[in-house]
Amino acid sequence: MAYTKDGIMAQIFVAFGQGTGSVRVSRGACAALHRRYYGWIGESILAIWESEAVQILERVRTIGRRLAVEAGLDGRGEIGSQGIEAAARGVEEGEDCPFCPFQSEKTGRLYPAAEPAVEEAILGQMLVALGQGTGTVRVSHGACLAFRARYRGWIDGEIVALWGGASVQILERVRAIGRLLAARAGLAGRTAIAAAGVEAAARFVEEVENCPYCPLRQERAQALAAPWREADAEILVS
């Protein structure tokens, strides 16, 4: 299968969420995770992902677990941006990961670490929440791309503006999507969540929760407006 940079980064976010469990993860933490790993996902990582993804993603889960424990010991209810780099390096070094960024840092070869757009950091939070919902069930590259396809374009200026007040409810709906996908995978006897079914599960939860911001509401509004747009076009033509 053809792996992609965005799909692998999405899998990393999901695995991180699986490690953190129920501990909230800030947008800043997701931005820090993006800075550490997105530039690292180059041709060499794309080439070995098929064989090495399971081990690398388990290390990412370990990073999430470590940060969740540290947050608990500090009496914090959220994982912030501070500590992401140190925890990641600690796990990579402790596991002696032959592919992870730590190996390159030892040789002085640094990967680009551009600041992610706010929309990408928000999507990261959503993918982390998806992982928290799926629990221990693996989430395929294709499933991550399907989730990204549904929500990345939806995160526009309006969503960014309301995120501070609405994120808790939206992220809980995303966790519900993860739980639903994990349950359906289990009932079907599958060990991983595939791309097929992601769209349907997302739409189902959005409808049940009557989400006022989610893509389903926008899709319905566009469908209702379509006949009026067609009528206006006919009037202009005539």
Q: What is the pLDDT of residue 219?
A: 83
What's CA 94's distance to the chain center, in Å?
Answer: 25
- Structural domain total, the chain: 1
In a domain? residue 125 = yes
Give the predicted TM-score (pTM) of the model: 0.91
What are the CB-based long-range contacts (under 8 Å, 24+) for 108-111? 111/39, 111/40, 111/42
In a domain? residue 175 = yes
Q: What is the pLDDT of residue 47?
A: 95
In a domain? residue 227 = no
In a domain? residue 55 = yes
In a domain? residue 17 = yes
Torsions phi, psi for 25 (to 5 deg): -125, 125
8 Å CB contact between 31 and 116: yes
8 Å CB contact between 155 and 119: yes
SS3 label, residue 154: coil
Per-residue pLDDT tens listing for the chain (238 residues): 699 999 999 999 999 999 999 999 999 999 999 999 999 999 999 999 999 999 999 999 999 999 999 999 999 999 999 999 999 999 999 888 888 888 777 776 777 777 899 999 999 999 999 999 999 999 999 999 999 999 999 999 999 999 999 999 999 999 999 999 999 999 999 999 999 999 999 999 999 998 898 998 878 777 766 554 555 555 555 5
8 Å CB contact between 20 and 67: yes
Q: What is the pLDDT of residue 232?
A: 54
Rounded to whole angstroms, how far apart are CA atoms 236 and 74?
65
Rounded to whole angstroms, how far apart are CA atoms 67 and 14?
15
Nearest residue to 102 (alpha-carbon basis) of 116, 118, 88: 88
In a domain? residue 226 = no
Tokens 């379509």 belong to which residue? 226
Nearest residue to 182 (alpha-carbon basis) of 9, 6, 17, 7: 17
Q: Which two tokens mark 29?
A: 């933490």
Interacting residues of 38 by C-beta distance below 8 A, sequence separation 6+: 5, 9, 113, 114, 116
Q: What is the pLDDT of residue 112?
A: 74
Tokens 């808790």 belong to which residue? 168
Rounded to whole angstroms, how far apart are CA atoms 138 and 195?
12
**Secondary structure tally for the chain: helices H, strands E:** 10, 4
Range of the domain at 47: 5-208
Rounded to whole angstroms, how far apart are CA atoms 214 and 145?
18
In a domain? residue 59 = yes
At 188, the amino acid letter reads: A
* Residue ranges in 74-140 assigned as alpha helix (H): 84-94, 101-106, 118-134
In a domain? residue 65 = yes
Q: What is the pLDDT of residue 229?
A: 53
Q: What is the pLDDT of residue 181?
A: 98
Q: What is the pLDDT of residue 67?
A: 98
